[in-house]
Amino acid sequence: MLPASEQQTEDSETAAQLIGYSFARPELLAEALTHPSATGDQPRRRGRRGWSQKPTYERLEFLGDRVLGLVIAEWLWRRFETEREGHLTRRFAQLVKRDTLAAVAATIGLDRHLNLSRGEANFGTHRKASVLADVCEAVIAAIYIDGGIEAARDFIRRWWEPLIAEMEKPPRDPKAALQEWAQGRGMGLPVYEVRETSGPAHALRFTVSVRVADFEEATAAASSKRAAEALAAAALLQRVAPKVAANAS
């Protein structure tokens, strides 16, 4: 994981082969594979909008999240045509959550081609689930910009088809699973609390905590209060009841 431009080019070409898509603009893939730490020692460049550093995956990740969401939502809507909205929502949440994205990125091998600082590489940042998930979304955006929605759809279908195929039933709602587990042990209802609301009005981010009885609370953040509550519930379940959590999204 050297910062040299030649190594970056070689890594991008290899990553493109693993992805199974030939880029007309390979610089998009290089951007999708560039961690913010990789720009720390690089000189700033002057462009039409002033001085800037080499772009990283952060902006692409923003777009890729939306492209993935659209493709998965349409796919589920067509594939499970008799299911209610609630069941489709649970399937959707499972397929676009961080751990799923990280698993796809690791399966492809994107972690081996991420461009980041030597310090972050030594720290193992390229193996963090949050980083792998962001890179996966950035790659989706790069493919979308380079080849359009059909190219992005082909990529998503290739790597998500096995995940949908093994999803015979909608995953259990983690909030419902946590409530059933707690009440079954006489602990009462889980208590959720919004800890923080951040970001601009068009892209709010909610940080929510949940606690049950005397267990240490769990916290999670998402773009909606409902999603943050579900993630927090899943995190708490994973800690107190791993077997129950395995059956919840």
Confirm whether 65 is a catalytic residue: yes
As a whole number of angstroms, the distance between CA 223 and CA 12 comes to 31
As a whole number of angstroms, the distance between CA 62 and CA 133 comes to 12
In angstroms, the Cα distances linking 46 to 50, 52, 53, 54 are 5, 6, 9, 10
Residue 21 makes CB contacts below 8 A (sequence gap 6+) with 143, 146, 147, 151, 154, 155
Pick the catalytic residue from 11, 65, 111, 229: 65
| Six token digits for residue 118 | 């030597």
Confirm whether 173 is a catalytic residue: no
As a whole number of angstroms, the distance between CA 194 and CA 226 comes to 11
Segments of the chain assigned E as strands: 45-47, 50-52, 191-198, 205-211, 218-222
Q: Please give the backbone phi and psi of residue 186, each rounded to the nearest 5 degrees, phi first.
A: 70, 30
Pick the catalytic residue from 31, 61, 137, 229: 137
Q: How many CB atoms lie within 10 A of CB 247?
A: 12
Q: How many CB atoms lie within 10 A of CB 45?
A: 10
Q: Specify the residue for token string 């951007």.
A: 31
Active-site residues: which are they? 65, 137
